[in-house]
Structures are given as structure tokens and as C-alpha cells.
Amino acid sequence: MPFLGKDWRSPGWSWTKTEHGWKRLVFFGHELDDNREISLKELCSDNNDNLFVGDVCELATTKRKKDLYNNNTKSQFVFRDKWIYVQKGSTKERHGYCTLGEALNRLDFSSAIQDMRRFNYVAKLFQLIARSQLTSLSGAAQKNYFNILEKIVRKVLEDHYNPRLVKELLQDLSSTLHSLTIHVGRCVLVGNVNIWLCRLETIVKWQQELNNLQIPEQMCTGVSFSDLPLHMQNKILYKLSDACDIINLGQATPTLHDLSENQMLWKKLCHFHFRDKPFCGSLVLTKTENVDWKLMYFTLQKHYPMKEQYGDTLHFCKHCSILFWKDRHLALLFKDFGHPCTANDPDSCLMPISPQHFIDLFKF
């Protein structure tokens, strides 16, 4: 039966009652099919010269099942939890600490990429891991990383959603692997170097598939974007926070080109991304008309990072020290905050976590 303890030390796992007592349920992907079961008698008859008895034979059976399972599954561990306790040191109640690789394995990123609100968040997080944190992952976490990355690429190829972000991700990952396998050396990577060379070849193949991606023209029989009034098109442009999207949209029609070159649009963009930076707040609030705001935007972009905006992010509960995906629908309907919170006012303890902040949580 499921157990969600109110004690903050309780992880809230699922338990089942057996003849030997209570046993915690751990989900390891798909269960082995019945036809994969190997009996002790069949195993002992494989080699008549070496007969196994008792515990030795049972141990060999377990190892055979484990090898069979690992050879027939891409991901070594598949957890179905959407939250994880972030432990940064040993206490009387808990021993050890939580690592970035463990968080990558435990949090449900495979399901998150199927949600359009979370796709950009996961892709950006994987890009940051590819740049600097790849060598800090365990072997299982690295395997899970590339399995999820393959799903990200397949989703872009099928749905044509945000290929530019995934291209940047693969480019950063390719540069990192090229440096680690050729220039830095092999000792920093977990596993055989030939496996990493094969992964590098796979990344090159994914890059070619994305470069050859042709987005088909959609046949729209109703009202198209160009049929909207100019003030509605202008409002839609004001909702875009990426300069590349504005420039690409301005190349569609002459009318959109004129709207994309509006200086007030670029001034609002400067104010959105750089208003909290030193010496930029007073600049973007100036009323002078002699400023080329488009040029100003790209000048500021060279010196300051742009403000990140995502449809949905991971959340961190400061009261419980738990990192989790927050389901908005369950939170509204059943007051389910995504984790077993013991605070009187859980909403006041929640803090959205950016991809960079996610990585910083596991730096010790």
C-alpha cells in the first residue's frame, strides 16, 4: 500500500506486505516477461561438468536474469517518481548526499519532454550538463542522459518543435566529447572510450538529420496569421522574448518585416532582458528617440546573459528540501503539491528552479 509520511524524514515510498515482512517496491522499468524466467534446474543443466547447488545455483540464476534484463533495456534504471530529496550532507537520520546523476535518474525527465511547457526547460538543462557537468555523472546517469537525449531528438524530428535549441545542445555536446576523447584524455570518462566514440558518431548522425529536417508547409483553410489585423500581429510580436524568433518571423512577409523593425519592440525587449543589470535599468527607461534599440539589444547581449523564460520548471520546497515537478492540475483540484509536504502553507515554501540553479544545487 502507498505510504506518504508526514515526518520529513520519511521518503514516502510504496510498500507491500510479504511473508517475511514489509518490503519496499522499487520500479525498474518493465517487468521481465514470464517467458524470460530461468529455472534452477535448466541453469544447472547448461553444463554437466560444473553442477551448482544451493545458494550458488540461485546466485547464478539471479546474475543470468540481471544480464538478460540489462541487455534488453536501454535504460538501466527507470524511476517513476517526480520528486527527490536533496541531501547535501550526512545527518543522524540520513547518511550520504544526493548527486546530480541521482537526480537525473530519479526525476521523470522522459515524461517531462512530452509536455510542451517543460520541453525547453529539459533541453536547456541538458545543454548545461553537456557543457560542464558530463564527467560528474555516474555511468548509469550518463546512459540515462543519452537515452533521454535520443527521445528529445526524435520528438523534434517528429513534431518539428524548436529544432534550433536542440541543434545548439548537440553542438555543445559534440564539442565537449571531442575535447574529452581526443584532447583531454580517456581517464575522465566513465566506461570504454570506444563507447564514447560511438556516441560521438551518433551525435553527428543526429546533427545531419536535424540539418536535413524539412518542415512541411501546413495547409490552412481558415484564418492565417497574415489575415489578422496589424495591431493583433504587433501584439503577438511583443509576446516573443527571443530576438531570433522576431527576426525569422520578419522574413516571412514585408508587413512582418516592418513590424519586426519597430524600435519600440526592441526597446521592450531590452527592458525585459536587461532591466535588472547594472547601468541598464536607467538606459532602457530613457525617452530619447536617437537610440537604435535593435543594435543596443545585441550589444547588451554580448555582455549580459538573457533572461530565461519557461512554461514550467522544477520547483524546490525550502521546508522539505525536495526537488519536484509540480502538476498544476492536481494542485488546483486536489491540493496536491507534487511531494509529501509537511508545511502549514506549502505555497510559501516553493521556489522555481532554473536550469543553472538545478546544477548549482548539486555542487558541493
pLDDT digits (tens, 9 = 90+) for 35-67: 444 444 444 444 444 444 444 455 555 655 555
**Structural domain count of the chain:** 2
Structure-model confidence comparison of residues 27 and 340, the more confident one: 340
User: Does residue 106 lie within any of the structural domains?
Assistant: yes
My answer on whether 173 and 189 are in the same domain is yes
Q: Is the pLDDT of residue 125 over 90?
A: yes
| pLDDT given at position 281 | 60
Specify the pTM.
0.68
User: Does residue 70 lie within any of the structural domains?
Assistant: no
What percent of the chain lies above the pLDDT cut of 90?
Answer: 12
**Given 303, 328, 354, which residue is the final one in a domain?**
303
My answer on whether 285 and 162 are in the same domain is no
Residue 338 is classified by DSSP as S
For the ranges 54-63, 270-279, 303-312, the lowest mean pLDDT is seen at: 54-63
My answer on whether 178 and 285 are in the same domain is no
E strands, the chain, are 15-18, 21-24, 83-85, 314-317, 322-325, 350-353
Cα 329 → chain centroid: 21
My answer on whether 194 and 339 are in the same domain is yes
My answer on whether 251 and 171 are in the same domain is no
| pLDDT given at position 71 | 45
Q: Is the pLDDT of residue 294 over 70?
A: yes
In terms of Cα–Cα distance, which of 17, 65, 16 is closest to 37? 65
- Domain with 180, as residue range(s), is 80-214+310-363
User: Does residue 100 lie within any of the structural domains?
Assistant: yes
User: Does residue 338 lie within any of the structural domains?
Assistant: yes
Position 153 confidence tier, pLDDT thresholds 50, 70, 90: very high
What percent of the chain lies above the pLDDT cut of 70?
Answer: 68
My answer on whether 95 and 184 are in the same domain is yes
Position 80 confidence tier, pLDDT thresholds 50, 70, 90: low
User: Does residue 64 lie within any of the structural domains?
Assistant: no
Expressed in angstroms, the distance from the first to the final Cα of the chain is: 36
My answer on whether 209 and 107 are in the same domain is yes
User: Does residue 269 lie within any of the structural domains?
Assistant: yes
Q: What is the mean pLDDT of residues 182-210?
A: 81
Q: Is the pLDDT of residue 119 over 50?
A: yes
**Given 303, 326, 350, which residue is the final one in a domain?**
303
User: Does residue 35 lie within any of the structural domains?
Assistant: no
My answer on whether 204 and 258 are in the same domain is no
| pLDDT given at position 128 | 93
Residue 33 is classified by DSSP as P
29 CB burial (10 A radius; 0-12, 13-18, 19+): middle
**Given 303, 318, 339, which residue is the final one in a domain?**
303
My answer on whether 348 and 323 are in the same domain is yes
Single-letter amino acid, residue 103: A
User: Does residue 41 lie within any of the structural domains?
Assistant: no
Q: Is the pLDDT of residue 196 over 90?
A: no
Question: Residue-wise over 130-168: b if at least 16 C-beta within 10 A, else e?
Answer: beebbebbeebbbbbbbbbbebbbebbbeeebbbebbbe
CA distances (Å), 241 to each of 111, 218, 354, in order?
26, 24, 17
My answer on whether 288 and 324 are in the same domain is no
Helix (H/G/I), strand (E/B), else coil: 303 = helix
My answer on whether 90 and 182 are in the same domain is yes
| pLDDT given at position 8 | 47
